[in-house]
Chain A
Amino acid sequence: MSNPTTRNLVIGGAAGQGLGSAGHLLARHLVRLGHQVLVTQSYQSRIRGGHNSIALRVSQRTLSAPQERIDLLLALDQETIALHAGDLAPEGRILAAGSPSLPDELRSRTLRVPISDLGGKPLTNFILLGVAASCLGLEASALASAAQAALQKRPELAQKAAGAVRAAQAWANEQAGVRDGMGSVRLPAGTEQGQTRRVLMSGNQAIALGAISAGIRFCAFYPMTPATSVNQTLVSLSERCGLVVEQAEDEIAAINMAIGASFAGAPALVATSGGGFALMTEGVSLAAMTETPLVVVVAQRPGPATGLPTRTEQADLEFVLHAGHGEFPRAVFAPGSVEACFHLTRRACLLAEQSQGPVFVLTDQFLADAHRAIEPFATEALPELRPGSGVPEGAHPAGSFTAAPPSAPPAETAPGDYRRHAFSGTGVSPRRLPGGGPELVVTDSDEHTEAGHLTEDLTVRRQMVAKRLRKERGLRERIVPPERYGDARPELLLVGWGSTRGAILEATDRLRAAGRPTGALLFAQVWPLEPESFADALSAAAAVIAIEGNATGQLARLIRRETGCEIVRRLQRFDGLPITRDYILRALGAEQARSGATKEKP
């Protein structure tokens, strides 16, 4: 049973028919009207090259994940009907451009829209949008005005689009099928919003804004789907926010530029996907060795190699965890929502500065591209970076790299005595910036002395390894513990990480509503892991299942390595599509059916 106030609209058509722009126009309009909206690609499994689709899930309550069943399908072409009609809800409706041939069972549920009478083929996307507005019960002129405003940079098109929306809406209002047959589609009024109205934002946009709010000043990138929109958002805000964003000749150059900028005092970030990150791994090791703060965003897509460039996967956890030769500490965040993309990227930026090394944000195509209505971030009071002058108090609730190290960092007696890599109890050395004063800042990718000069003194080598590894303690003090949801002593505990959070939350709700005590354990930080922060949850559950978007259960394996606790049951998806609530429920249902006669093992 779908929640009666939740509607799922899917717009499908050929690439180049403008369904993305139409979908985002409608989504933004609905957010302005007070609706909660989640915009994703539509994730039906029958996907064909050249066919595009976009899904808008609309509700009065907060949405965590997309749904598969379709309430209203906007078919810009015949193929859309063939591909998506199977997912139509029992009361679902189709708005079809022109007069496609239809199977009998769909005829009564389809409204054929005479495109040529309402503005012509080039405006098909806007015409269907106008009809949809009418079916949803939206006010006639508002969407047309929104279309005009959204296209203001192309006045001629804006005029035509607004006209098409208006004409289509007027036509639809006259259709008996719309007046009487759209009860299952009509939206209730949007909820009142406070003074701060909601905004529509993607995970990648939130990452870029989180980075800017933390004080990131430099980004170098080589374009790679699905990370590009992080870099693109930074580019579009660079003038206003005082950033330098440079497209590099390759990912190797990108990470080395970022390290150079960070070394010189401009907090820096790189964002890429698996293949690009593979090229960056030597740079990760360099950031660790030179103790240069660096934030690396890895937006996962299915591999190996080029894989499925526009699909999603969670298969680079182990790669990111181990990337870079040699031994050094790191932290890896895995946001599970648009909001978490903002806050955890901020946290990564501050932590990179505090620990003077690489910190990762691990996202994926699904979260990167999904747009969701969110409360705008309160940006006034957020701490920001000041390289060379420490991280502000209160940046993190617990622990501090700077608090009372066992042996205080040595004070410089003269400028020439400054030692960039001075030994300290925390492993973190006082930071100066080159050109910032008379001190000379020297560092080396070779093993080096406290002063930063290359050395083959093997005693120094041992001390430097220990120094760098001491930072892990500070990283552990700042862990974001996994989120617990649902029943504390459940019959079934769903374990996941990163972008599957929304689907797991909604699946947990469904199972609990059906009377099955269910809990969820959701990791927003996948390294370091502190067993004390979650081992009790694993042992309190009668059964545990690890839900991951990969084929080998990478988090489950990591948990086993760190705790000895093996999660035997796995739900793994690796066909390039995100794990959805329905996917989880189907898989659990099938599992239950299979084990109906046999005794269930935890």
Chain B
Amino acid sequence: MNASGDRRDPEVRLEDFGDFETAWCPGCGNFGILAAVKRALVELQIAPHQLLFVSGIGQAAKSPHYLRANLFNGLHGRALPVATGAKLANPELVVLVQSGDGCSYGEGGNHFLAAIRRNIDLTLLAHDNRVYGLTKGQASPTSPRQMQTKAQPGGPTSEAFDPLAVAVTMHASFVARGFAGRQAHLAGLIAAAVRHRGFALVDILQPCVSYNRIHTHRWYEERCYELDGSHDPTDRDAARARIESNQERIPLGILYRNERPVLRERFPALQSGPLVGRSVDRAALAEIVAGF
């Protein structure tokens, strides 16, 4: 988040983000997430042109096509590096990355770790349906061992990846979990993530009505609970305890957060504003050349 959120004139309304036909299956969790994203942006009063969405490939990565904003829909797994470059080029842009569990934690796993370490100031909305939808039902990095798929008839050969445990262990500066079925709560989390200064992960649980018969809407509703004031998100041990406790009780909310320097502070060149629109300092350049 940054200064651009302060421009409150004219008022940003839900209609500004448009209403588009989608390519998703009826009942897809992506609908709830899309609605929550729009609500959060209205709450934050960020206009479409101040936003940059970056997405990868997958059903989730199509989401930003269904609202009005700047968008770079790149390659599978590579949304975070594109977003990192764009944010460094112009820190005034509010940057959100939107992609699925396969894109964010599988193909893009290395970039996920690197983004946490960099503390690049952007929000990652990871649509986590624990299955590959676009390619029709293979296991994803977050699929549990007991989940049988067409490609993994005996269940996945690897243990499931736990993005939240990894993020908290690595001192990620904002770690939250939402559920596509609780739109208002999710919108609040997204708004908090965008407001947060630094890398913000919102892992969003969502049912896949076509390929995931285990983690249905009902399955989540029976297990999810919202964190209340008894959880201190600055307490890392408490966050770990919540994440690693009983799988039958899934906490939603801000699990962990900290304040630490963001990536752009490490570049002297960015102290004087965005890189965009600058001119070459010819006198300095002539001096540099002469000094070789």
Residues of chain A at the chain B interface (Cβ within 8 Å):
196-197, 199-201, 205, 209, 212-215, 217-218, 220, 237-244, 246, 248-250, 252-254, 256-266, 268, 282-283, 286, 290, 376-377, 379-380, 384, 386-387, 415-416, 433-446, 452-454
Contact = CB atoms under 8 A, between A and B. Distances in A.
Given A260-B83, A265-B275, A387-B276, A217 B71 contact: no
Interface of B: 4, 48-50, 52, 54, 57, 62, 65, 68-75, 78, 80-90, 92-93, 110-111, 113-114, 267-270, 272, 274-282, 284-286, 288-292
Given A252-B78, A264-B276, A286-B75, A434 B52 contact: yes
Nearest to B92: A435
Contact of B292 (A199, A258, A262): A199
A200 B292 CA distance: 6
21 contacts: A200-B292, A205-B292, A212-B280, A214-B280, A237-B288, A241-B280, A260-B89, A264-B52, A264-B85, A264-B89, A264-B93, A265-B276, A266-B275, A376-B290, A379-B286, A386-B277, A434-B70, A444-B71, A444-B73, A445-B57, A445-B75
Contacts of B274: 265-266
A329 B74 CA distance: 19
Contacts of A282: 75, 78
B49 A244 contact: no
B85 A435 contact: no
B74 A445 contact: yes
Instruction: Classify the interface of chain B: helix, strand, loop or mixed.
Output: helix
Contacts of A205: 292
B276 A241 contact: no
Nearest to B88: A244
B88 A218 contact: yes
A260 B65 contact: no
A256 B81 contact: yes
Contacts of B85: 218, 220, 256-264, 266, 268
Contacts of B113: 249
A215 to B, nearest CB: 6
B49 A439 contact: yes
Contacts of B73: 443-446, 454
A261 B290 contact: no
Contact of B74 (A262, A286, A438): A286
Contacts of A416: 68
Residue from A252, A268, A437, A439 with most neighbouring chain B CB atoms (10 Å): A252
Contacts of B52: 264, 434-435
Contacts, number: 210
Given A244-B270, A265-B90, A384-B280, A212 B83 contact: no
B90 A266 contact: yes
Contacts of A283: 75, 78
A253 B275 contact: no
A387 B84 CA distance: 19
B280 A215 contact: yes
Nearest to A248: B81
A238 B284 CA distance: 12
Contacts of A220: 81, 85
Nearest to A198: B292
B78 A266 contact: no
B269 A260 contact: no
Given A196-B290, A244-B275, A434-B90, A260 B285 contact: no
Residue from B110, B274, B275 with most neighbouring chain A CB atoms (10 Å): B275
Nearest to A387: B276
A444 B276 CA distance: 22
Residue from B4, B57, B274, B280 with most neighbouring chain A CB atoms (10 Å): B280
A251 B287 CA distance: 32
- Top 6 A-B pairs, shortest CB-CB distance: A260-B85, A266-B89, A260-B82, A257-B85, A434-B70, A256-B81
Contacts of B89: 217-218, 244, 260-262, 264-266, 268
Given A256-B82, A260-B81, A433-B276, A209 B290 contact: no
A241 B110 contact: no
Given A237-B288, A376-B289, A440-B48, A260 B280 contact: no
Contacts of B292: 199-201, 205, 376
B40 to A, nearest CB: 19
Contacts of A212: 280, 285
A387 B278 CA distance: 10
Contacts of B72: 260, 263, 290, 434, 443
Contact of B82 (A238, A259, A387, A435): A259
Nearest to A263: B72
Residue from B62, B289, B291 with most neighbouring chain A CB atoms (10 Å): B289
Given A263-B86, A445-B75, A454-B62, A242 B276 contact: no
A254 B195 CA distance: 27
B282 A380 contact: yes
A249 B285 CA distance: 30
A266 B279 contact: no
B68 A240 contact: no
Contact of B81 (A196, A197, A200, A253): A253
Given A213-B285, A240-B288, A435 B70 contact: yes
Nearest to B267: A244
Contacts of B87: 260, 264
Contacts of B88: 218, 244, 246, 257, 261, 266
Nearest to A239: B268
A264 B280 contact: no
B185 to A, nearest CB: 29
Contacts of B49: 415, 434-435, 437-440
A376 B52 CA distance: 41
Nearest to A255: B81
A442 B71 contact: yes
A340 B69 CA distance: 42
Contacts of A197: 290
B65 A453 contact: yes
Contacts of B281: 240-242
A520 B277 CA distance: 43
Nearest to A253: B81
A387 B89 CA distance: 12
Contacts of B270: 244
Contacts of B285: 209, 212-213, 241, 379
Given A264-B52, A266-B89, A444-B73, 9 more contacts: A218-B88, A241-B281, A242-B278, A244-B270, A253-B80, A263-B86, A266-B90, A266-B275, A436-B276
Nearest to B49: A438
Contact of B114 (A196, A249, A443): A249
A43 B275 CA distance: 42
A209 B86 CA distance: 23
Given A252-B81, A260-B85, A265 B277 contact: yes
Contacts of B84: 246, 253, 257, 260
A254 B93 CA distance: 20
A242 B48 CA distance: 29
A376 to B, nearest CB: 5
Contacts of B82: 256-257, 259-260, 263
A377 B287 CA distance: 11
A460 to B, nearest CB: 15
A282 B77 CA distance: 12
Contacts of A254: 81
A282 B70 CA distance: 23
A243 B276 contact: no
Contacts of A264: 52, 85-87, 89-90, 93, 276
A443 B71 contact: yes
B66 to A, nearest CB: 9
Nearest to A205: B292
A446 B73 CA distance: 8
Residue from B70, B90, B111 with most neighbouring chain A CB atoms (10 Å): B70
A467 B188 CA distance: 43
Contacts of B86: 260-261, 263-264, 434
